[in-house]
Amino acid sequence: MIERRLNEGAYRSVDTLYEDVKWMVHNSVIFNGGTSAITKDLRYLLKNLRMELYDLDSCACCYIHAYTRPELWFILPCPSPHLLVWAQLKGANE
């Protein structure tokens, strides 16, 4: 469903995608049960999507750089200047 909607250009905002995944979780709870493997996988997807959207919402340019230029993303300039936030990612080398 998501792939079809992506190909159709139905997602005008990331919020619409997020709402679709929330509906999938809702429907899976009803049809498969709250503890089924499918529901657990969908909840995992929803949690990760929420984190990705949070990162994307912070700065879309930084988000794109993080995936396209992972070795340099934090030093590449963004069109709209913004504050730098330094944080150590979980699992990163110290």
Phi-psi region of 9 (alpha: psi -120 to 50; beta: other; left: phi over 0): left
Which one, 85 or 92, has the nearer CB to Zn ion?
Answer: 85
In angstroms, give the least distance from the CB of 74 to Zn ion: 9
Q: Kindly indicate which of the ranges 8-16, 23-31, 48-56, 61-69 contains the residues binding Zn ion, using the contact rule CB under 5 A.
A: 61-69
- Binders of Zn ion: how many residues, by CB under 5 A? 4
Rg of the chain, C-alpha, whole Å: 17
The answer to whether 49 and 17 have CB atoms below 8 angstroms apart is: yes
Q: Kindly indicate which of the ranges 3-11, 28-36, 40-48, 75-83 contains the residues binding Zn ion, using the contact rule CB under 5 A.
A: 75-83
Angle at 42 between CA 56 and CA 36, to 5 degrees: 160
Q: Which chain residues interact with Zn ion by CB under 5 A?
A: 59, 61-62, 78
